[in-house]
Amino acid sequence: MRALAVVAVVVVACSNTNSSTHYPYNPPPEPSGEPPNEAVGPEAAGAPYGPVSPGAPPGPGEVRQKPADPGPHVVGNPPAKPPSPPAVTDAVPIDPDKPMPADTLGTNAALQLDEPASVTVDGRADIYAAGLPSPDRARGGVMPTQLVLVPGGGVVRLRNVHGKTSCAGKPAAGPDDAGCARLLGVFVGDRPASPRHGSDELVAGSLQHPALDQTFAVGDGLTGTGTGDIETFAIPKGATKLYLGYAGDTYARNTGGVAAIVTQAAK
């Protein structure tokens, strides 16, 4: 009887040991040695499968990223506009295709050494009226542009001479073109004297010596048409003023004109 009791105790003990290892009450260890339920991914953490509505509350274990901060909202700040197109400037200071007013469009200036002066020459500027109180009515022009010189002589240079002049209905031409559209100059003194016709021909030289009271060709102020060096005009002895204008028999129907930058220098 004592032997049977011992056997019964052993059987009960073995029976209790085996019941603690039965699945699914205690799952067997993973072959990799990793603890169970450690898979990577939102589903492993308990998140629901499939897409989630933005307004839906997070599921168990779900971790959502915080949306990016759009920054402060600026009230009243209008959307950016494209930049305005660049202003279109007219290279013709006086349009030769438009009617001319009764008054002159030419401007005068008093020069200072090495100080550029900007002037405009009316297409009706009568070069032969230089130094006179008024232009000849028979020719129908206006007074030429007057530049008062600095005493002591020196030289004068013209640059950026641009524009077109139409003479008596003819096609407009530039200051270097032949005929009545060519820009002329004349140096005069204080004594009364009528300017005389000198030369209307362009001289391809960087230094010119025009005579007092005689017209000379200025053109576009360069040794070539639209190119070359800036021409230098020596101021003749006794000159106190330089006039710019055009030659012609009649001026009333002339239109247009030119603009120029004039500088007097000691040499």
Q: Specify the CATH number of the domain 109-265.
A: 2.60.120.430
The pTM of the full predicted model, rounded to 2 decimals, is 0.66
DSSP state of 217: E
Are the C-beta atoms of 234 and 116 separated by less than 8 Å?
Answer: no
Closest CA to 178 of 201, 195, 158, 197: 201
Give the burial class of 47: count Cβ atoms within 10 A of its Cβ; 0-12 exposed, 13-18 middle, 19 or more buried. Answer: middle
Cis peptide before 24 (omega within 30 of 0): yes
pLDDT recorded at residue 88 = 37
Phi, psi values for residue 10, rounded to 5°: -65, -40
CB 108 within 8 A of CB 147: yes
Read off the amino acid at residue 165: T
CB 241 within 8 A of CB 148: yes
CA distance 115 to 159: 13
Q: Return d(Cα 208, Cα 40) in angstroms, integer.
A: 95
CB 218 within 8 A of CB 184: yes
Please report, in tens digits, the pLDDT of each residue of the chain (267 residues total): 444 444 444 444 444 444 444 444 455 555 555 555 544 554 445 555 555 555 566 666 666 666 666 555 544 555 555 544 443 344 689 999 999 999 999 999 999 999 999 999 999 999 999 999 999 999 999 999 999 999 999 999 999 999 999 999 899 999 999 889 999 999 999 887 678 888 788 887 789 999 999 999 999 999 999 999 999 999 999 999 999 999 999 999 999 999 999 999 998
Task: Report the amino acid identity of residue 123.
Answer: G
- What pLDDT sits at residue 144? 97
Dihedral Cα 145, 149, 154, 160, nearest 10 deg: -30
pLDDT tens digits, 103-156: 999 999 999 999 999 999 999 999 999 999 999 999 999 999 999 999 999 999
Q: Which amino acid is at 83?
A: P
* 262: exposed, middle or buried (Cβ count in 10 Å: 0-12, 13-18, 19+): buried
Burial of 258 (0-12, 13-18, 19+ CB in 10 A): buried
Domain ranges (residues) in the chain? 109-265
Amino acid in the structure at residue 122: D
CA 32 to chain centre: 73
Query: Which amino acid appears at position 19 of this protein?
Result: S
Please give the C-alpha separations between residue 68 and each of 58, 65, 74, 114, 130, in angstroms, as whole numbers. Answer: 18, 9, 17, 64, 79
Residue type (1 letter), 59? G
